[in-house]
Structure 1
């Protein structure tokens, strides 16, 4: 039985306006806190634009901002829900674990509980336990569990545990940090329906340069694959090679490298760009290599002061090369396969907490692995109920064209609720 939509949305709306009124007047103090760098803005913070980190030292129990245990441990809670319809069965269009699952029904995309520990100037930790409700069942998992040693000599940091790899930009984000209701096609096609993850150690070095130049190297193993999270993959038909076997095999040694540069031309214009790579043996026992490039430009009308308009353009492109078992010709050395994809995302923010967006995506596909060539364009609009962005409402349309299915259309509405401040990243 599907949950009733109208009562659910009414309850969330009422809570949103209550929270909005509580947090509306906090903007100035929050920006001053950010400027004092009480909580450092991370290169990989899951934020749509360089908005305030909402920490001013006073606990707000309605929004969860600055609520903590002894000023050391900060809890977070997130709920992301979607409702909409599509011109075909949603299972054929869905690509990511947290994408809307069914048309004409509410999807609980993400239910997440997290703890951020800020113990001292050298030690931090992060734990997040999350689930998507799929097929009437909940599939929970500890998505990230890591300890972070920071401010080490020579500009080094170390994260140890289970981490979302710093590969490009989007891979580091949990669903509550997404700019769109569904995951990018290139991320799901090349990195997997969840974020690419390593269990091991990640070393970060901040180069002594006038701008932020960050190098990340992760060494570890791929985690055990979940039971597809209830997600039905596309039919492969008479594919010569099984595309699913190109993903990194569980317990296989992984090497992931990332180089990201952030340059503030002035208070109003910021540039970000870099390259990434990942290497490991895949499910078939052969090698999969992934390469990526990412770039971003952000403009804020008021610079580091509160309010004003903003504009952000972000893009990532990825390319992979791999061998997998030949499904049709036994005993033959398999040929090297490859795929390519990219996205371009534009966001324009208005002073009234409205955000307009446009996204274009493309994945090339591969006939030997029965992966379709797919092109998707998505205009969207988001309204944040308060400046702290603890409640948002998002509407999105997808024009989806595939060389296998033809053209499809989908319309989705999303309600997202967050409780708590910025997470340790």
Structure 2
């Protein structure tokens, strides 16, 4: 029986089926049988007529930092205040699995900021899958398949806060397009997936002014480098997932995004990603696991010269990367260590920053409906010096895997 389940899960992952697709958040260390029986405690397989699956997520953090947390946070869903509770994410979603060819996903979410909540439909798309030739198509508002982390909503994060390189290169929230995305899965023994999205960037409704503390001090305003709304944005991604056997999995790929920025010039972002994963029980539930994940990004852009009007601006660049290591024990306890670096740029007044974060997470059950996380950040910047932060997070997740 165990062998049959292993074979089924292996095939499902290769075929991009609903159980565990390439971009399913939290799928990596979690292996649960999908038997079609509704579990109302966890939300697994709870549905309307077996077609529409609801999701509910809540993430909240409490902690403290050595300086004003507004100086340290970079992501829209990062903890906002020290010595106070931040409701990082309140999210409601629906996954529609109508037949072998039609799926949809809707998620409505927001973070509580300055005692207010600004909810937004983060993703709304229709998906046509199992098309001839190994193609699928998504249309609507999507989190772009750029690297690995960009596709995840906060409930799928491995850490209390977002990676520095993602917020520096892709924005406070995940890079998003409104348009169409075509995917091709090559007919190979492993999963080799190509994604190409064409659309426009949505209006940036979450500009809180982070990451540019010295307004007017820069020759080139880095905040102008973000992709402009209503302008064509192209995002490409190539990801390979290779299961050496049931116990060892490798993932690697490259990504790129190109479009006009707020200054009317061009911004380009390039990325590489890699991951290794080991599961003690293979595709069977339970057991220990190890996951090592890394992404690196480089951008290149021009924005208006703030000091000399009419001057042809010089191209600006920045670089960043992270390395995340998670080790799961058999008692639903997970130990983690994260290292991050962004190079910064003097002309754009972006600081060089290095952050190291050990953390521990405990999951109340195998479905990870409830989790408790404790994390420490050692944060060093060439502008601020060394700072520290400690965060405790509680997360509630109800529902099965989302349509991705």
Superposition map of 1:58-77 within 5 A? 58-77=37-56
Q: Distance in 1 between matches of 2:206 and 2:173?
A: 12
TM-score, normalised by the number of residues in structure 1: 0.91
Which range moved further: 218-227 or 87-96?
218-227
* 1:89 alignment counterpart: 68
Cα distance, 1:305 vs structure 2: 1.6
- 1:364 paired with 2:343, answer yes
Cα distance, 1:58 vs structure 2: 1.5
Cα distance, 1:331 vs structure 2: 1.1
- Among 250, 254, 259, which residue is 2:229 paired with? 250
- 1:47 paired with 2:7, answer no
Query: Residues 400 and 409 of structure 1 are in contact (CA less than 8 Å); yes or no, is this contact kept in structure 2?
Result: yes
Query: Residues 55 and 421 of structure 1 are in contact (CA less than 8 Å); yes or no, is this contact kept in structure 2?
Result: no
Superposition map of 1:12-411 within 5 A? 34=9, 37=12, 39-47=18-26, 49-53=28-32, 55-228=34-207, 230=208, 232-237=210-215, 238-411=217-390
Q: 1:414 to 1:30 in 2, by over 3 A?
A: farther
Which range moved further: 239-248 or 45-54?
45-54
Q: Distance in 1 between matches of 2:153 and 2:28?
A: 16
Cα distance, 1:270 vs structure 2: 0.4
Q: 1:164 to 1:389 in 2, by over 3 A?
A: same
Q: Distance in 2 between matches of 1:135 and 1:266?
A: 49
Q: Can you list the C-alpha shifts for 1:377-410, whole angstroms capped at 9, x where unaligned?
A: 0000000000001110000000000000000000
Gaps of 5+ in 2: none
Cα distance, 1:105 vs structure 2: 0.3
User: What secondary structure sits across from 1:96 in the alignment?
Assistant: coil
Q: Can you list the C-alpha shifts for 1:274-330, whole angstroms capped at 9, x where unaligned?
A: 000000000000000110000000001111122211001000000000000000111
Q: Distance in 1 between matches of 2:27 and 2:37?
A: 24
Which range moved further: 295-304 or 400-409?
295-304
User: What secondary structure sits across from 2:42 in the alignment?
Assistant: coil
Which range moved further: 87-96 or 46-55?
46-55
RMSD of aligned alpha carbons:
1.7
Bigger helix share: 1
Q: Can you list the C-alpha shifts for 1:146-195, whole angstroms capped at 9, x where unaligned?
A: 00000000000000000000000000000000000000000000100000
Query: Residues 95 and 403 of structure 2 are in contact (CA less than 8 Å); yes or no, is this contact kept in structure 1?
Result: yes
Q: Distance in 1 between matches of 2:4 and 2:388?
A: 44
Q: Can you list the C-alpha shifts for 1:113-159, whole angstroms capped at 9, x where unaligned?
A: 00000000000000000000000000100000000000000000000
Q: Distance in 1 between matches of 2:92 and 2:35?
A: 22
Name the count of aligned residue pairs: 398
Cα distance, 1:64 vs structure 2: 1.3
Q: Distance in 2 between matches of 1:386 and 1:54?
A: 14
User: What secondary structure sits across from 2:224 in the alignment?
Assistant: helix
Query: Residues 262 and 271 of structure 1 are in contact (CA less than 8 Å); yes or no, is this contact kept in structure 2?
Result: yes
